[in-house]
Structure 1
């Protein structure tokens, strides 16, 4: 700022300085320069009638200076960040959700497997832990999940001794269809199957007969069992499709249109195709009436060759309709596949396979 600030700007440019964000104000010029160019101003300003005032500092150099003045804070922040990074690589909490198996036994087993508190996260293999826990005869289904620094374990379907009951009303839970067990949780009784086990319809899933453990123990077995079930349906479509075609016979018929709604005098054939012959508008009536004369062609069913794509589509749709009639309404569909096979005579067989997850247990007295 001062007299003739433009001259000072010109001298700066001649010295090779780079000025940007220049702004002309009354009696002053405001601009941004680099730190190196700012050092040149002391020499360039000599002999001029201007003076330079530093308005603000910014950029990496400014940030470095601020960090230098707060070295202790930066050091503490770096140490804290490093500690957080190192802490995130290990297990710091183990949560066990179990009803009958003591939690201490589960945590002790995890520690022996190298999955206790302080273990490295990258060394944890949840699938291996699940396999080892499921090998325990007291455990029907174990689930191990690693979320952040927390290892969660859920134990389902243990067979601790239930409350003694009389054998009146004792029952088992049976499989009502062929499937692969995906989940089992026992409320009463003892699990006879495990997750991943294939069962047939009629197999015992949860037993209410505990007399082999202690004489006189019978219970009404209860629990929730889900299984993965496969449904399959096939349909063979012939290479000919039944379509309605004109027989060559037709009759003339008349239709009246009132306010756009057609009213036919008669229907000569059960199946027909209309061909418009003539249309007349009645101008002498207050109500808009249109009279149309049609040729009603009789349509009769006839087998006509169908394209391979059409035959395949009919086979696929028919197979899907058959499958829809047998699928349980409460089943959750997890996979669908369709395979089509062309036969030498031109027919196509479509097979639709659906995999579902559904409840498969049914209680029945023994």
Structure 2
């Protein structure tokens, strides 16, 4: 008997032979090398056996030489299965169409849930998701992966401290942590206002307390600006001094910019390869050409397929190669100095309070060392220099 697995693919038949020459028929088939198996008698002049479907023509030749007749009791294996499938093609097509619909519905976005967000923040998130194409009814294969969505939301919505993105089945879940704006603490305890740094006063507005300085005065760090003692000097009333004292302060910064800088940039060329991933085996389906990039950055995205709530063992993988090239940026001495001043000013503005402003800048020293332009810069800044100093009873 031949391998039954190959017989199932190629097909085999069950044959009933009857008549006086059935033994002669079996001997003839054996001599001709026609494989038969499961040979058994079903009566005095009847015998049943199995044989390959492709040997039927040789069986007919052997029957003509034997004093018997044959009858086919059934067919099994690939050819007969396909024949039955073709006969019931309507049902089979309907079944495949149904399974395909379930498969597609299982890989679409059917829910977006946002947790722990205020109504205005939730509205901003949903609006941004809509711009990104993350919406109900969208096929998941054409939506960014959760890590990319998380990064884009964090970059584009300033009210978010952190957002967690998770895809569970057909629903995106967003866990939101918003930035908490601290409430201004009302100072009710008695205090003076002193200078937080040395400055020349340019503007004063005293809401409570006794002013101890005036505009254009030079004050040192820690000097009393507004006293919390008001009224009769012999029996003064103590109040929390309050006001805005703007002064001109001074900062010194250093900055350096190289005259020539090498860095990598994307040149716009990219190559995308599509794969069908089965467990750990990736089968390429599109994009076989090797782009031949000398330098590139490779990104890989894997999106699993689902059927209802189950994750299937195969997934859709995309590999993207983005070409990079080395370029050299060259500044003249004047351009490098201007870039250094702009960088230093931007760095200083980040450290200053929101109500402060830079009113003047001056280069104190400029030099070129090891291919770099180095600057020492002096800045004039107008800012609020008033700082509270508690009044301890008994002072």
Instruction: Verify same fold: TM over 0.5.
Output: no
TM-score by length of 1: 0.38
Which structure dedicates a bigger proportion of its chain to strand? 2
